[in-house]
Amino acid sequence: MKCFDVDATVRLFEECGVATKIEGNGKIFPESDRAADVLAALVRRLDRSGASLRCLSPAVGIERIDDSAECGPGFAIRLPDSTVTARRVIVAVGGRSYPGCGTTGDGYAIAYRFGHTIIDPGRPWCPSGLGWTGLPA
């Protein structure tokens, strides 16, 4: 991602039909101010790439596939209803502070099985369980 700098990101979205603007604070947004336009551009690019998007389909396990496998080296990703293969895998998951939003911590076990050191994140710094109901009106 280091090679994919801000200018390259802007070019990518503009090539995908999302005109951009620079706000007074230097942040870049779609001219339409619609996140849906960014999502639609990413989905169109995904479709053109031949990749597939699987929503609500958590990875329950990942195993290495060696060179002798029929599909070559890579990974087998177990899903609740099937297994898919990939040459590369990026484990990009949230923590476990808010399971209702999908941050269940499942990625910790996957990363650990591949030799990564997992540091206990401790207690979350969020208002869960504190009786906080939001900002006053």
How many C-beta atoms surround the C-beta of residue 107 within 10 A?
Answer: 20
As given in the structure block, the two tokens for residue 122 are 């401790």
Q: Give the predicted TM-score (pTM) of the model.
A: 0.59
What is the average per-residue pLDDT within 43-67? Answer: 87
Choose between 83 and 2: higher pLDDT. 83
pLDDT per residue as tens digits for the range 14-25: 999 999 999 999
- Are 120 and 95 spatial neighbours (Cβ–Cβ below 8 Å)? no
